[in-house]
Structure 1
Amino acid sequence: MAGCFSFTESRNWCYRSTFKRAGLRSSLTDLGDGTVIHCWVPKNRDGSCPDLLLIHGLGVNALWQWGDVVGHFSSHFNVYVPDLLFFGDSFTTRSERSESFQAMCIMRVVEAHSVKRMSVVGVSYGGFVGYSMAAQYTEAVERLVICCAAVCMEDRDLKDGVFRISDVEEAAEILVPQTPDRLRELMGFALYRAPLLKLIPSCLLNDFIQVMCADYVEEKKDLIRAIPRDRKISEIPRITQPTLIVWGDHDQVFPLELGHRLKRHIGDNAEMLVIKDAGHALNVEKPGEFCTLLKYFLTGDPLSFPHKVRENEGSNC
C-alpha cells in the first residue's frame, strides 16, 4: 500500500549506501537504439588498478546480488556493476532477449567508461552473459569467473530429466515470482539451508515482489525462455581466457554435473572448485569464502590459489 513502510525499499537504500561507501556512483548510459543501461561505476577510476565487472543473475538487481560483497573488491579493483536489461533501471525497446545481446550492451557501457581490459565475474544467468562476453570480446576479457551457470546445457537436457523443473514455463513462473508461494519456492531452490519458509510472513514476500519483480515480467520470462532455445554444446564457442568455475555442491537449479561439463568443454584453461554445503546462491550462503577465492584467482596469486584449486578440483573445499 502506498505510504506504508517497505522493508525491500529500506534494504535497497542500505545497499545503495553500501555501494557509495565502496566508492561507486550510479550511472545511466543511453546506447541510442532504445536501450538504456544502469551501471554502478567508480567515482574516481584509479588507472593503476585492474578493472572488474560483476554481473548479477535473475531474481534480483545488481544491488541485491552484490551488496554484501562489493566492498571486498572495491579496494583492489575499479569495480563496475551493471543492471542487466529489465532489472533496476536498465531496459530496451528492442526485441532481442539473448545473453549475447546482453553481453553486447554491457560491453558498450564499459567502453563508454574507457574500460579496455577487465576481469568478469558472472553469477547464474550473469555467468551466461559473462561467457558470451569472453567469447565475443577475447581481447577485452582477461579472466572469467563463472558461478553456477549452466553454459553448456542443451535444449534436450530439459526433456532428459537433467533439471528438477523440466518445463521452461514452470521455471519462468518460479524465477520471476508473482506470488508469495512462488517466491518461497524460488528461495527453496536457491538456498541449501533455506529458512523455515512457511514462517516468513506473506506481507514481506509481497513487498519484495512488488518492488523487485512486478516490472518487465514478460520480458524477464523471455530471457529465461531464450536460454535453452536450440542450445547445443557443439555450437558453444570455446573460450581461451583463464577461467574459474565455482559451484555449490547442493545446487538445485543447475546440477553440479553441468559445472563439470563446462570444465570439460573449456579444457585446460579452466579450473573448477566446488564449495561445500552451498546451494545455487553460494555468494549469499558463503560470501567470505566466495570473495576470498575470487580475489586469489583475479589477482593471480601464484602460490596459494592455483595450488589450492588443483588439489580441490571437482571436490569440496
Structure 2
Amino acid sequence: MATSCISFVSLYGSFLRRSLALSGLSSQSVGVDAYTTIHFWGPKRLPASARSPSSNGEHRKPSLVLIHGFGPHGVWQWRQQVSFLAPYFDVYVPDLVFFGESTTKSSERSEIFQASAVGKMMEKVGVSKYSVVGTSYGGFVAYRVAEMWPERVEKVVIASSGVNMRPRDNHELLKRANVEKIDELMLPETAAQLRTLFRLAVSNRVYMPDFFLNDFIDKLYGENRKEKLELLKGLVLGQHDTPNISPLQQEVLLIWGDQDNIFLLDMAKELKEMLGKNASLEVIKKASHAPQLENAKSFNKILYNFLCDST
C-alpha cells in the first residue's frame, strides 16, 4: 500500500529541523578531539565574535546547553524549549555521542566521557560561560559537566534524572516494566517493547499503530544499538549501593513529573538533599518522565524563571 512508503517519523523530523532553523539555530559539527565529532544545533553567528560587546554597547545573550536523554536525539526532546528560550538565550543542543550524527572512535562509554565531549564542544565554539539543562540520561551528563567545570557552568537544571540511583532502583524499574534486561526497555526492538517504555515515560498516552511504532524504532532506536547498550553499561553513577553524589557549587534546580515511573519522585526528594543548600525542586503535576514534552508551558516557565533569576 502507498502508506507503507510514508515515514511519519522522517516527516516530523523535517518539521523539527525547520523549527530550530526558524528559531535562529543551524546544524553544525565540530571535532572535539582526534577521535570524537559532536553534531549540535547552535546560533548561526560565530560564537566567539558574538560574545564580544557590540558597537552600541549591548552584550550577547547568555548561553544555554540542552542535553537530551536516552532515545531520540536532541531536536526531538527539546524543540518546544528551543522555540521558547531562543529569544533570551543562545541555545546549544548537542547530540550526545552515538546519538544523531555524533560519533567517536574512542572506547570510552561513561557519562564522564559524554560530559567531556560537551565541555570540549563549548570550548571549540568559543563559549566560556553557560548553563546546562539535562533530562534523564542527559541529567547524568549535565551533573558531570557542572562537576568538571564549576568555573564555566553558571546554573544547572536536572530534569527527571535519578543521578542518585542505586542498583536496587534499576532492579525495581525492571519489575515495573516487567522486563528482564534494561535494553528491552531503553532500546526497544518491537512495538510491544516501545509501548512498555511509553507506558512508564508518558502520563497522557494515545494509541499508536504498530507501523508507526516500528517506524519510530527503525529511525530513532535502531542506530548504533550496540554502542548505546555499552553506554548503559558504562554509567559510573548508579553502580554502588551508596550514591557517590557531591553537592555542586552552582545553583541547581530539579524538575520532576509527579507521575514519573522511570525515576520516582522520591528519588528527586532524596537528590535535593544530597545536592545541598544550593538545590531546589519543582514538581510538575500530571506529568511523567518527559515533562518538557508533556507540559511544556509549565516546564518552560519554571526553567526561564530559574535561569533568569539574578542573572
Fold equivalence (TM over 0.5): yes
| Alpha-carbon separation, structure 1, partners of 2:196 and 2:179 | 15
* Match 1:105 to one of 114, 117, 120: 117
Residue of structure 2 in register with 1:208 after alignment: 216
Residue of structure 1 in register with 2:56 after alignment: none
Residue of structure 2 in register with 1:223 after alignment: 231
Report how many aligned residue pairs link the two structures: 298
Residue by residue over 1:180-220, the C-alpha shift from the partner in whole angstroms, topping out at 9 and shown as x without a partner, is 1111111111111212x3xx211111111111111110211
Residue of structure 1 in register with 2:66 after alignment: 54
| Alpha-carbon separation, structure 2, partners of 1:171 and 1:301 | 41
Could you say if the C-alpha distance between residues 73 and 164 of structure 1 is closer, same or farther in structure 2, counting changes exceeding 3 Å? farther
Report sequence identity in percent: 38
Alignment of 1:169-184 (within 5 A): 170-184=181-195
1:114 CA drift (Å): 0.6
Alignment of 1:3-14 (within 5 A): 4-14=5-15
| Alpha-carbon separation, structure 1, partners of 2:103 and 2:174 | 30
| Alpha-carbon separation, structure 1, partners of 2:200 and 2:103 | 27
Residue of structure 2 in register with 1:306 after alignment: none
RMSD of equivalent CA atoms = 2.2
Residue of structure 1 in register with 2:83 after alignment: 71
Alignment of 1:261-272 (within 5 A): 261-272=270-281
* Equivalent position amino acid for 1:298 in 2: L
Could you say if the C-alpha distance between residues 113 and 233 of structure 1 is closer, same or farther in structure 2, counting changes exceeding 3 Å? farther
Residue of structure 2 in register with 1:235 after alignment: 244
1:179 CA drift (Å): 1.0
Farther off after superposition, 111-120 or 218-227: 218-227
Could you say if the C-alpha distance between residues 168 and 125 of structure 1 is closer, same or farther in structure 2, counting changes exceeding 3 Å? farther
* Match 2:134 to one of 109, 122, 128: 122
1:236 CA drift (Å): 2.6
Contact 2:164 2:244 in 1 (8 A): no
Residue of structure 2 in register with 1:255 after alignment: 264
Give 5+ residue unaligned stretches, structure 2: 52-58
Residue by residue over 1:71-101, the C-alpha shift from the partner in whole angstroms, topping out at 9 and shown as x without a partner, is 1111000111000111100111211111110
TM-score by length of structure 2 reads 0.90
Contact 2:112 2:144 in 1 (8 A): yes
Residue of structure 2 in register with 1:286 after alignment: 295
